[in-house]
Chains A and B, each alone.
Chain A
Amino acid sequence: MTEPLLKLNAVCKSFGTTDVLSDVSLEVRAGEVLCLLGDNGAGKSTLIKILSGFHEPSSGTMEAGGKKVCFKSPRDASSHGIATVHQFGGTFPLMSIGRSFFVGAEPLKGLWPLRRFDRKLANSIAVREMQALGITRITDGDRLVGGLSGGERQALAIGRAVHFGANVLILDEPTAALGVKEAAHVLRLIMQARQKGIAVVLVTHNVTHAMTVGDHFAVLIRGALAADFHKGERTREEITDLMAGGEAMAELEAEIEAYQLAHHGHTPEPAELERLTHDPSGP
Chain B
Amino acid sequence: MAVQAPAAPAPARPLVSGASVRNLIRRPETGALIGTVSVFVFFAIFGGQQFLSSGGTASWLNVAAELGIIAIPVGLLMIAGELDLSVGSVLASSSMTLAIVSGHYGAPMIIGIGAAIALGLLTGFLNGVLVTATNVPSFVVTLATNFGLAGLTLGFSRVITGTTSVAIEPGSPDKELFGTLLADKFEVAVFWWIGVAVVVGWMLHVSRFGNWIFAVGGDTVSARATGISVRNVKIGLFMGSALGAALVGVIQTILYNSAQVANGQSFVFNSIIAVVIGGVLLTGGYGSVVGVVLGTLTFAIVQQGIYYTGWESDWASFILGILLLAAVLMNNTFRRMALSSSTKKKA
> Which residues of A does B touch, CB under 8 Å?
52, 54, 73-75, 78-79, 84-86, 89-95, 99-100, 102-106, 108, 115-117, 137-139, 142, 144, 146-149, 152
Contacts and interface: CB of A to CB of B under 8 A. Distances in A.
Contacts of A78: 225-227
A138 B341 CA distance: 14
A75 B231 CA distance: 13
B186 interface: no
B31 to A, nearest CB: 15
Given A86-B225, A94-B218, A104-B228, A117 B211 contact: yes
A106 B208 contact: yes
B222 A90 contact: yes
A230 B169 CA distance: 81
Interface in B244-263: none
B215 interface: yes
Contacts, number: 111
Given A54-B221, A94-B338, 19 more contacts: A73-B227, A75-B227, A78-B227, A86-B225, A92-B214, A92-B218, A93-B285, A93-B338, A94-B218, A95-B215, A102-B211, A103-B212, A104-B226, A106-B208, A137-B345, A137-B346, A138-B343, A144-B26, A147-B341
Contacts of B207: 115-117
B338 A103 contact: no
A78 B222 CA distance: 13
A139 B11 contact: yes
Which of A52, A94, A116 gathers the greatest number of chain B CB atoms within 10 Å? A94
Question: A-B pairs with the 5 shortest C-beta distances?
Answer: A92-B218, A104-B226, A75-B227, A106-B208, A146-B339
Prevailing SS type, chain A contact patch: loop
Q: What's the interface size class on B, roughly? A: 35 or more
Nearest to B8: A136
B178 interface: no
Contacts of A106: 208, 211
A95 B219 CA distance: 10
Contacts of B211: 95, 99, 102-103, 106, 117
Contact of A54 (B223, B224, B229, B345): B224
Given A78-B227, A103-B228, A148 B342 contact: yes
Contacts of A79: 227
A117 B214 CA distance: 13
Contacts of B26: 142, 144
17 contacts: A54-B225, A74-B225, A75-B227, A84-B225, A86-B221, A92-B222, A93-B285, A94-B281, A94-B286, A94-B339, A100-B218, A104-B223, A115-B208, A117-B208, A137-B345, A147-B343, A149-B342
A282 to B, nearest CB: 41
B225 A91 contact: no
A92 B219 CA distance: 6
Contacts of A89: 219, 221-222
B331 to A, nearest CB: 11
Contact of A52 (B225, B338, B339): B225
B227 A92 contact: no
A94 B332 CA distance: 12
B214 A108 contact: no
Interface of B: 11, 23, 26, 202, 206-208, 210-212, 214-215, 218-219, 221-229, 281, 285-286, 335, 338-343, 345-346
A79 B338 CA distance: 33
B162 to A, nearest CB: 47
Given A92-B215, A103-B212, A144 B11 contact: no
Given A92-B218, A93-B218, A105 B342 contact: no
Given A84-B225, A94-B285, A94-B338, A137 B218 contact: no
B215 A100 contact: yes
Contact of B343 (A52, A73, A116, A137): A137
A103 B213 CA distance: 10
Contact of B223 (A84, A103, A117): A103
B166 to A, nearest CB: 38
A116 B210 CA distance: 10
Nearest to B218: A92
A79 B202 CA distance: 29
A30 to B, nearest CB: 21
Which of A73, A74, A91, A99 gathers the greatest number of chain B CB atoms within 10 Å? A74
Nearest to B26: A144
B218 A104 contact: no
Contacts of B340: 146-147
A75 B227 CA distance: 4
B226 A105 contact: yes
Contacts of B212: 103-104
A54 to B, nearest CB: 7
Contacts of A142: 23, 26
B335 A94 contact: yes
A138 to B, nearest CB: 7
Contact of A95 (B208, B218, B221, B228): B218
A90 B219 CA distance: 8
B215 A104 contact: yes
Which of B207, B219, B228, B340 gathers the greatest number of chain A CB atoms within 10 Å? B219
B225 to A, nearest CB: 5
B223 to A, nearest CB: 7
B56 to A, nearest CB: 37
A79 B225 CA distance: 11
